[in-house]
Structure 1
Amino acid sequence: MSSHHIVRDDQEPALIIANGAECSSELLGQLLEWSPLVIVLDSAIERVFSLGIKVDVLLGDFDRGFDPEYYREKQYPLEIVHTPDQEKTDLEKAFDFLIDKGHKAVNVVWATGKRADHTFANITNIVRYRHQLKIVILDDHSKIFLLPKHFQKWYTKDSIISLIPIGHVTGIHSENLFYPLRNDTLTIGFRTGNSNHAAQDGLVTINHDEGDLILIESLD
């Protein structure tokens, strides 16, 4: 695995490597190439170092006898950030760290799979950062992000697009979706917008009035 920092532009998204299922080396390599900063959660550091990845920040609560200084000796320079707050997950604390440093966007990998509870929390928790950080969660099968009130993007015909409400979302309108939404309401646990798709090559438009709406692009 090649190191990152081929491009160091603070306008590019940072990269967080969490501790879920690993993605392909191809996807990880693409993200590393454009990431100005790479943060690894403490529970994943051994797996990350085994891939030969250059890490900027090691972050976590360092419990269970974890010795962060051991990793500073293995790779220098390495910033070590101790975040003992048990009221937040390590991923949330990594988001807080980026916000404090002035970053505006981040890609997250290894945040899905393995543990269903962790996957669910990682996806739904991005809504609390809606005004502070643009967060995209990626794996080999999906790209996941929170929609702004007005969203427009070009897709090829039949691209799979799922709309998942976090809570209750009202006033949803779409253009160029096979199953159109016309002032619709989606509610988690009752009605969601799973497995919709682009009707034709071209722009897909999705607007909503109130609530938090997550879009999942499925790559299968």
Structure 2
Amino acid sequence: MTDKVLLFINGVPPKIIPNSSDYSLIACSDGAFHYLKEKGFPLDQLDFISGDFDSHSGSDENVYQAKFIYTPDQDKTDFEKSLEIIKEKGFEKVDVYGGSGGEMDHFLGNLTVAFLFKDDLKITFFDEYSTYFFAPKKLVLENIKNRMISLYPFPTTEKLTTKGLNWSLAQEKLDITNRIGTRNFAKEDDVIIEFETGNLVVFVGNKDQR
């Protein structure tokens, strides 16, 4: 078991639930609680459920009340409130499922929340198509030949250099209003991505693109 958190939030439910034994703490938002229940996830494995619980039944309240952390603040999303709890508990790595799909304003909002926590938490999102995260200034991706790689500035990334991608970059600038770097792919087993200033979201496709 690693010192890492598994967090489910209220986007499109994952088709495959990850192995819970790989995590030190497992949590969900109250919206995600419903799809976990429908999928037959062993709810006794949850360490906490965060939210305002306005959609929960009395039976849920009775059985899982000890796991509920009431977070009624309407100025913050359930995702943000869950990350605050995780940070307070001293964890640094968080794998997030249910962060994308469905209503795309939720997806963009979740990216913004991850940006707010990027200096304190290493947050990695997983969905049906890709894995994505805010990249450190130097990133090495291993064993990803032929995978789709998209580089998305948030909102700018400067002096960006890549090695191992089909369309390489050399000390270049990406800007959300002018130029982005989506739909590239790895032509080598290992890819190196480096930049000097700004912020960069990296998407790594789940499937071989050959």
Q: With structure 2 as the length reference, what TM-score do the two structures score?
A: 0.89
1:181 to 2:169 alignment: yes
Deviations 1:146-203 (A, max 9, x none): 10011112133222110011111111011111111111111113211101111222x2
Number of corresponding residues: 204
Which residue does the alignment assign to 2:192?
Answer: 205
The runs of at least 4 consecutive aligned structure 1 residues that moved more than 4 Å come to none
Aligned residues with identical type, % of pairs: 27
1:217 to 2:204 alignment: yes
Name the CA shift for 1:184/1:84 in 2 (closer, same or farther; >3 Å).
same
Deviation at 1:75, TM superposition (A): 4.3
Task: Give secondary structure in 2 for the equivalent of 1:29.
Answer: coil
Deviations 1:38-64 (A, max 9, x none): 111112222212313232101012336
Consecutive unaligned residues in structure 2, runs of 5 or more:
none
Deviation at 1:72, TM superposition (A): 4.8
Question: Aligned-residue CA RMSD in angstroms?
Answer: 1.8
Contact 1:60 1:83 in 2 (8 A): yes
Task: Give secondary structure in 1 for the equivalent of 2:142.
Answer: strand
Which residue does the alignment assign to 1:96?
Answer: 84
Contact 1:124 1:166 in 2 (8 A): no
Q: With structure 1 as the length reference, what TM-score do the two structures score?
A: 0.86
Deviation at 1:110, TM superposition (A): 1.1
Contact 1:107 1:138 in 2 (8 A): yes
Deviation at 1:120, TM superposition (A): 1.4
Query: Aligned ranges for residues 1-220 of structure 1 at < 5 Å?
Result: 7=1, 9=2, 11=3, 13-25=4-16, 28-30=17-19, 32-50=20-38, 51-53=40-42, 54-63=45-54, 66=56, 70-75=59-64, 78-201=66-189, 203-220=190-207
Consecutive unaligned residues in structure 1, runs of 5 or more:
1-6
Contact 1:123 1:137 in 2 (8 A): no
State the alpha-carbon separation in 2 of the partners of residues 101 and 208 from structure 1.
Answer: 31
Task: Give secondary structure in 2 for the equivalent of 1:48.
Answer: helix
